[in-house]
Structure 1
Amino acid sequence: MDFQPDRNLEAFRQNVRAFLRERLPADLVRPLRTGTRSAREDVTRWQRILNEQGWGTPSWPAEHGGPGWSVQERLAFDEECMNAGAPTQDGGAQKLLGPVLNAFGTPEQKAAHLPLLLNGERQWCQGFSEPGSGSDLASLRTRADRDGDHYVVNGQKIWTSYAHRADWIFLLVRTDQEAKKQAGISFLLVDMKTPGITVRPIRSIDDCHHLNETFFDNVRVPVTNRVGAEGEGWSITKFLLNNEHASTADLPVLRRYLKQLRSLAVVARDGARPLIERTSFALRLARFEAETNAIAMMVQRVAALEQDHSPAAHAMGSILKVRATELQQQMSTFVVESLGDHGAVAYPGPQERDAAALPMQELGRGLANEMFFRRASTIYGGTSEVQRTIVARSLFQF
């Protein structure tokens, strides 16, 4: 594939920047955005603004109502929004569930969910991992037993991001207890207000509440809320996880780390000299820039393989997930280390607008929390060990 820069990309960036200057409300701006999602009301308000512009689903192709942007344009859009401090979108809905509904949903399911998703009126969470069934999703035990026109769901999910804010959950359940592990799984859409659902918070190491335990006690779900055929959940999940691997690369985040390191290079001091004059710092900065550029090319390659329905796409997605998430951890740690003594302090996050800070404290806002948040990046979406197993097994197929 062609890795040459798109000649029209700079014009596209200027168009996005002009839109952000004109349409991004000042009270929604959150500088130095960290890995966690913006407040629910901010997500909804920003989603409506984007949808009015026709940009509500940046990663969707034109035939599904998206803008039909290239991979480079999607990355540029995400990067410009991050640089401008725009709120996040509902990534679970935008990048995971939306493509699933477009590919596997019935006309009735699309009509019921996609308009609300596009306008930010219905937010989603993902119910995959369970205690003892994290990366090994095929071993999940939450069951859904057929009772007439409903399934009765019983079980527990864990690490359910933003379940306490979600309106609905897309859920993997076991509908056949006798079938082979993968063959007995189905994919359900469940209203979080359904009786029998309990959400309990998990406070994570970054001192935030974005994770939860979610319990299902005789929860009745209409059969019409099943996506695909009964037992087809594993095939749908593989489709979804390919999209998740690409999104967990978080290329705009890597580029934000580079921007922060460049700022520290001239603001932070090594004695009387700026930090950039320390050879070891300059070499690591150069290496991180090269590795970030390599991830950018790999994101494009994986997208091209997926577009061509190549059998190598799944393995390449796993390689991308491993390399990008490990780089996130290395870079976020180095950013905090580069703060020197200031890196030992958990300064207020960027969402705390009224916190006064000196220049180095301003640079340090939220960075310790960000570093702790990235400890999980090699775990969520499938651990690095599982991804390496996928890659190893794929070698026997080529």
Structure 2
Amino acid sequence: MDFAFGPEDEAFRHEARAWLAEHLAGDLPPVPGRAWERELGTGGWIGLGWSDARGTYGNRTATLGGQVVWAEEYARAHAPARLGHLGENLLGPTLLAHGDAAQRTRFLPAIARGEELWCQGYSEPGAGSDLAAVRTVAVRADGGGAYRISGQKTWTSHAHEADWCFVLARTTPGSRRHHGLSLLLVPMGQPGRIEVRPIRQLSGDADFNEVFFDGAEARAEHVVGGEGNGWRVALGLLARERGVSTLTQQIGFAAELARVIRLAVRTGAAEEPAVRDRLVRQWAELQTMRWHALRTLAGDDAPGAPNVAKLLWAGWHRRLGELAMQVRGAPAVLGPDDWHPDRPYRLDALQRLFLFSRADTIYGGSDEIQRGIIAERVLGLPKEARP
């Protein structure tokens, strides 16, 4: 396959680079937040991958090459981390594929303008990687009207900032596993019915949250794909989670790898044959992941491709964190020079890389779950016995 960028893509690159240079000018770059999301929305840069939207919702559209170009330029410009990723890259394409016209008209323009932020209500205690074990329930009052949702979600990124949450819940009483599930769009602003509790990490940060639903309402017309079809919609959404956003993720990986390589050269660690071999191997594996992602996005719908992709990048990123600590040597275990017990403990970039990447092989579907899916659904091996 030809992965080269064409003239149209290069023209798009010039436009993206110029826009980013203008809007990131100044002494201090914007910080992640609603103002920056609205700025991106005003420029039409949200929803480039909504290919069949044809600009209907206030966004630009771009070819796959154009989407990759934008991601590359965004990373190259050191632009802020995005808060709108879940709405743009997960919910948006899901509504285009499974939502109805009213849902698309209501939600997509607000996402494209950067005005509404989303979080994902999938994982639960006891139902993380095994998503079919969801126990959160949604009951429709008197067989009609709004749904009332009760249950708990966990590891929910941006829940404390989100306006909406797409929630996988059990809508058929007595159903088991992947049967009887529905995907509901739930407004987060329901005091007394939705509680968000930060999950504090050892670093002092709280990147994730627990979310408790106690009779939270979701309108009947906000069920995506129809009642009882949640498993099919959820799997489609997860496949998009490993779509173009994977390429964006890999650009971030490349920046982290470059930082580790620079440190290895500066400290002399790169002169050690074992370290040099690991650095080269990390670089080669990252290139392989890029070609794999591009081939998949270009139309190679090989069964299990998203699961293979998750296995590849999760293990790669965890090994990069380990390599970063090896390159740092003994100072890797030390805290900041200005540490004080009255201030939150702060890690540097490579320490955060090491600690956070330990979770890569767990969240988003653990390695064991991915291998099980590949074994059963791709290789046709006997299914594991389940209670």
Tell me the TM-score normalised to structure 1 length. Answer: 0.84
CA offset digits 1:216-268 (Å, max 9, x no partner): 11222221221121101111001001011333572112211221123223322
The DSSP-based 3-state class of the residue aligned with 2:282 is helix
In structure 1, the gaps of 5 or more residues are 31-38, 349-360
User: Does the CA contact (< 8 Å) of 2:135 and 2:169 recur in 1?
Assistant: yes
**What is the CA distance between 1:205 and its match in structure 2?**
4.2
1:295 to 268, 289, 298: 289
1:212 to 209, 214, 218: 209
Written as runs of structure 1 = structure 2, the 5 A alignment for 1:57-72 is: 57-61=47-51, 63-65=53-55, 67-72=60-65
CA offset digits 1:85-143 (Å, max 9, x no partner): 21122211111111111222222222222122112211111001111111111111111
Match of 1:374 in 2: 357
Does the C-alpha gap of structure 1 residues 11 and 371 become closer, same or farther in structure 2, counting only changes over 3 Å?
farther
Match of 2:309 in 1: 320
Written as runs of structure 1 = structure 2, the 5 A alignment for 1:224-239 is: 224-239=221-236
The DSSP-based 3-state class of the residue aligned with 1:387 is helix
Q: CA RMSD in A?
A: 2.5
Q: Distance in 1 between matches of 2:49 and 2:319?
A: 27
Q: How much identity, in percent, do the aligned residues show?
A: 35
2:219 to 197, 217, 222: 222
**What is the CA distance between 1:321 and its match in structure 2?**
0.6
1:243 to 228, 240, 244: 240
Match of 2:166 in 1: 170
**What is the CA distance between 1:214 and its match in structure 2?**
0.8
Does the C-alpha gap of structure 1 residues 154 and 366 become closer, same or farther in structure 2, counting only changes over 3 Å?
same
User: Does the CA contact (< 8 Å) of 1:43 and 1:120 recur in 2?
Assistant: no
User: Does the CA contact (< 8 Å) of 2:50 and 2:93 recur in 1?
Assistant: yes
The DSSP-based 3-state class of the residue aligned with 2:299 is helix
For 1:325, the aligned partner's letter is: A
Q: Distance in 2 between matches of 1:11 and 1:50?
A: 19
Q: Distance in 1 between matches of 2:4 and 2:23?
A: 28
Match of 1:286 in 2: 280
Match of 2:127 in 1: 133
**What is the CA distance between 1:366 and its match in structure 2?**
2.1
Instruction: Tell me the matched-pair count.
Output: 363
Does the C-alpha gap of structure 1 residues 168 and 141 become closer, same or farther in structure 2, counting only changes over 3 Å?
same
Match of 1:153 in 2: 149
Does the C-alpha gap of structure 1 residues 266 and 43 become closer, same or farther in structure 2, counting only changes over 3 Å?
same
Match of 2:107 in 1: 113
For 1:225, the aligned partner's letter is: H
CA offset digits 1:119-178 (Å, max 9, x no partner): 221111100111111111111111111113011111111111111111111101100023
For 1:305, the aligned partner's letter is: G
Q: Does 1:337 align with 2:334?
A: no
Q: Distance in 2 between matches of 1:163 and 1:110?
A: 22
2:299 to 290, 299, 305: 305
CA offset digits 1:252-291 (Å, max 9, x no partner): 12211221123223322x3xxxx33332222222111111
The DSSP-based 3-state class of the residue aligned with 1:376 is coil
Does the C-alpha gap of structure 1 residues 28 and 370 become closer, same or farther in structure 2, counting only changes over 3 Å?
farther
Match of 1:24 in 2: 24
Q: Distance in 1 between matches of 2:282 and 2:198?
A: 35
Q: Distance in 2 between matches of 1:265 and 1:178?
A: 57
The DSSP-based 3-state class of the residue aligned with 2:5 is coil
CA offset digits 1:310-369 (Å, max 9, x no partner): 3x24x0110011011110111122123212333223449xxxxxxxxxxxx9xx932211
User: Does the CA contact (< 8 Å) of 1:3 and 1:297 recur in 2?
Assistant: no
User: Does the CA contact (< 8 Å) of 1:61 and 1:67 recur in 2?
Assistant: no
Match of 2:79 in 1: 86
Give 4+ residue runs of structure 1 displaced > 6 Å after superposition. none
CA offset digits 1:168-208 (Å, max 9, x no partner): 11101100023343220001111111241111111134432
For 2:216, the aligned partner's letter is: V
User: Does the CA contact (< 8 Å) of 2:47 and 2:61 recur in 1?
Assistant: no
Q: Distance in 2 between matches of 1:374 and 1:70?
A: 31
